Amino acid sequence: MYLKTTNVADRAIEKKEETSEILEHEELDPKVEKYSDLATDLDKKKKIMMILMEHEVSKVEAKKVPSKLSIEDMKELLGKYSYSARAKYMRFLAEKECKKMAEQLRKEAKLIKRNEWLVEKQNLKPAEHIQYGIGHNTMVLRVRKSSIMRYANQRLANSVLFGQKVIVDMDFDCFMRKQDCNNCGEQLLELYGTNRKNCFPFDLTFCNVDLNSPTMMSLQRYMPTLYSPDNFITLTNKSYLDLYPRDKLVYITPYAKEPLKVYDPNAVYIIGGLVDKCVREPVVLAKAKKEGIRAVHLPYDEYLMWGRGAKSLPLNVLLEIMLEMKNVNDWKKAFRYVPKRKLVRSLDLFAEYS
């Protein structure tokens, strides 16, 4: 009896495996063929078909969904394991698509208006005297956007040669969720913009970089020119210990015990590249101690009345404070950039410097 049952079970397993192999090797449905790189096994194929069905049903029910799903969107949806999470993400994609469409319509309307103005300008008779104003004579030289970009690039090039070094440590993806990695990529883009606008920017170096990590892929999505030669960001997979002497490195983390009372223009400051909304452990401080690097926190308590929550700031705000300290060496002026929502009240700080 035992041998007979075993044989039946073995035949059932073999039949199931044969059926799976047939399904895996049969031609893909035309709807799934677009996502053939993602359909690596039978379960993925079934889930892709289910997501496409949910997308079509939501369209019929007039719910907020995008007009089509790209490969990147499908890859993100495959990582969500509940219907509500997928519906929420599709709603986000629909809102994003609507904003993009509205922006496109605005640009087209602006272009039509400009063409009408050019036709009207050509039909105008030449004036007998000088005409000032938009589209006419002017004594002020027009500063174009390309000129501003070249000027900003020149400042960044000077910072690479002569500026103070600031490192962003990109070794914390394993501690963040997918959403936090996306937020981190957005903050890194704002950090780059903040540095670029400053008259005396830092020389930014991203260390411990993995180009395939979620944060770097998010940053590349927000900043398509990330790998172009004119962005003046040094990307390296090496550690900062391989690039600079240990005694010059200073790690900035709110969990450190030592306050940064005196700003050192010769030090190489390190900022942890993470969004710590869900990270409750002092992972940055632990890494600094493990590597034997000096760790400091900004002296908030001496100048500000902090509210609830951890004393952590967005990466771009932290860099803005460091830039102000480098330029004016005054903590009171530098802490003007701390968001007011973080504070109970400031010690006459904004009244004094507003």
pLDDT value at position 46? 86
Write out the chain's pLDDT in tens, 354 residues: 444 444 544 554 554 454 444 444 444 566 677 888 887 888 888 888 888 899 899 988 888 999 888 888 888 888 888 889 899 999 999 998 999 999 999 999 999 999 998 888 777 777 677 766 666 666 777 788 888 888 888 898 999 889 899 999 998 988 888 888 889 999 999 999 999 999 899 999 999 999 989 999 999 988 888 888 778 889 999 999 999 999 999 999 988 899 998 999 999 999 998 887 767 778 889 999 999 999 999 998 888 888 776 788 899 999 999 999 999 988 989 998 988 888 886 444 445 444
pLDDT value at position 43? 85
Q: Which pairing describes strands 258-259 and 304-306: parallel, antiparallel, or unpaired?
A: unpaired
CA angle 246, 252, 257 (to 5 degrees): 95
pLDDT value at position 228? 84
3-state helix, strand, coil in the chain (%, to 5): 55, 10, 35
CA distance to 35, 41, 185, per residue, from 213 (Å):
22, 24, 11
Strand partners, 296: 252, 258
Strand partners, 343: 306
Largest CA distance in the chain: 112
Reduced 3-state DSSP string for 21-42: HHHHHCCCCHHHHCCCCCCCCH
Rounded to whole angstroms, the Cα distance separating 148 from 150 reads 5
pLDDT value at position 2? 41
**pTM passes above 0.75:** no
Q: 163 near 201, Cβ under 8 Å?
A: yes
Rounded to whole angstroms, the Cα distance separating 292 from 28 reads 55
Rounded to whole angstroms, the Cα distance separating 179 from 278 reads 11
Spell out a b/e string for 132-148, using b for 16 or more CB atoms within 10 Å of the CB, else e: eeeeeeeeeeeeeeeee
